[in-house]
Amino acid sequence: MFGPAAFDPDLMRRAEHTAIAHEYECWRSVRADVVRRSGVGQQETNLAAENHAILLNMLGAAKAGEDYVDGRRVAFSQRPAGSLSFIPADHNWSGWDDGDPTASYLFITIGKKFILEQFDDVPGADLDRLAPKIGFQDTSIQYAARSIRSEIGQRDALSHMIVEDHARTIFGRLFRSSGQRRYYVKGGLSPTVLKRLIARIDASLDGSLSLAELAREAGLSEHYLSKAFRLSTGFPPHAFIVRRRVERASEMLRSSSRPITEIAYACGFSSPSHLAAAFHRVIGITPRQYRADWKT
């Protein structure tokens, strides 16, 4: 579906550099490109997405710049390693950024027809409501994207099936995180209350936050909060908190050399084995494997 000329890093992310390495692989409905550069100066982005596009920043941070989506300026946020950007088909992203001189990124394109076929009859999976997102974090999408990257160079007959399964995971997470559940599920939390509760959770990841405290924050009974929270997020409060702690731990594993034991306690886990069990349940691998994979 995608040929060798489908992606040119010097056109989509133009920058002066002293060295560049580019590898890619094409499957039936998906293409993945890995670009590594050193001596990078100011970088210009000019992406007009004919198919759905996911960009994962693997090394180096974008620290300042300007972003435009579909011709409109949007707020710029710094994009450290691990940041994701999603541009749906038929949208465009342009702008510039300054950052670290050594950088690498993974660029994945996923065919429009493939996603339409996979999600056509799924309630809430409305492609027209998926908006471009620049510089966000999602541990499950990060892992799925890097799993696609690990298939580059594989030549067996199963590779395209594995890659397309990860592509489905990416879009499942995009649909779920877009908040589209509110369009067909009643009884959830209001966006304002949900935002306040998530902020409270994120501020308390290194300690214990009880359901009673969350209920008081929302002004609801514990029973109703549990039900409404699950309707709004797809997870009961405790499971959601565990996922946020895993996401915080994954960020620390990527960006620091702190011991895993120290990271476990900093993220509210009672022990390294507690972190390992939760990490494996959410992401599919252990923290040690995750750190080793990210450094490759």
pLDDT digits (tens, 9 = 90+) for 208-217: 788 899 999 9
Q: How far apart are the first and last CA of the chain?
A: 28
Average pLDDT (69-73) is: 92
The pair of three-digit structure tokens given for residue 73, joined into one six-digit string: 């300026």
Give the domain ranges of the chain.
4-181, 185-295
CATH class (in words) of the domain with range 185-295: mainly alpha
Q: What would be the CATH architecture of the domain defined by 4-181?
A: Sandwich (2.60)
> pTM of the entire structure?
0.74
Confidence at residue 179, expressed as pLDDT on a 0 to 100 scale? 59
- Do 261 and 228 meet the contact criterion of CB atoms below 8 Å apart? no
Average pLDDT (59-78) is: 91
Confidence at residue 181, expressed as pLDDT on a 0 to 100 scale? 44
Does residue 184 carry a pLDDT above 50? Answer: no
Q: Which residue do the tokens 């908006």 mark?
A: 131
